[in-house]
Chain A
């Protein structure tokens, strides 16, 4: 399976600031996915990032709050904007297997604490 590198691994940020999380994959992938995992909760999909087009956001997530870039087939960023303590979560980058509808693989996650 591909190697997915995410950084930073953790950060503590002041409310009102923004944090950009980077995700690098060691092979080209069509789609990259960003998930949020709030404390004690399961994974919720934020958006799907395709290279060359705007990201597709899930219900409850908006581009102004979570802008995403996908400049090429191996890299994506997620920005958490104007942060509040409610944004404290783990953010995970994910890719799918090479065959459609197969398993997902995850980066190591970014643990964000907003104070």
Chain B
């Protein structure tokens, strides 16, 4: 079992709709979770971090964490064409100070 799993997509969403991205992880003791956005040819940039169960909102982005189910998600409301990118879920491996990344979900927002 991979440490961090995402659906690779591609995920296609119409402009203005909600895009939902999902991630599961295997390390039960992980406490830190991150979503990165990566445009083609660019390095990943941090969108959201979440450390506690529940929802965390930042503008159009909402991260959701359920540690019991080992599940992290990212919702993008009012999707824009500029949101088209690959979204990477990352999980901190407790005690090792290293991040493990999922394979990424390619998201396309259709005008």
Name A residues whose Cβ lies closer than 8 Å to a Cβ of B.
31, 33, 41-45, 48, 90, 92, 96, 100-109, 111
Contact = CB atoms under 8 A, between A and B. Distances in A.
A88 B111 CA distance: 34
A55 B72 CA distance: 31
B17 interface: no
Interface string B33-45: 0100000011111
Contacts, number: 47
Interface string B92-104: 1010011111111
21 contacts: A31-B97, A33-B98, A42-B88, A42-B101, A42-B102, A43-B101, A44-B101, A45-B100, A48-B97, A92-B43, A96-B97, A101-B31, A101-B32, A101-B94, A101-B97, A102-B49, A103-B46, A104-B99, A106-B43, A108-B42, A109-B43
Contacts of A45: 98-100
Which size bracket describes the interface of B in this complex?
A: 20 to 34
Nearest to A31: B97
B105 to A, nearest CB: 10
Given A92-B43, A101-B32, A101-B92, A41 B103 contact: yes
In order of increasing CB-CB distance, the 3 nearest A-B pairs are: A106-B43, A43-B101, A101-B32
Nearest to A105: B46
A59 to B, nearest CB: 12
Given A100-B97, A103-B34, 20 more contacts: A33-B99, A44-B101, A45-B99, A48-B98, A92-B43, A96-B97, A101-B31, A101-B92, A101-B94, A101-B97, A104-B90, A104-B99, A105-B46, A106-B43, A106-B44, A108-B42, A108-B43, A109-B42, A109-B43, A111-B41
Contacts of B100: 45
The secondary structure that dominates the A interface is strand
A15 to B, nearest CB: 24
A100 B90 CA distance: 15
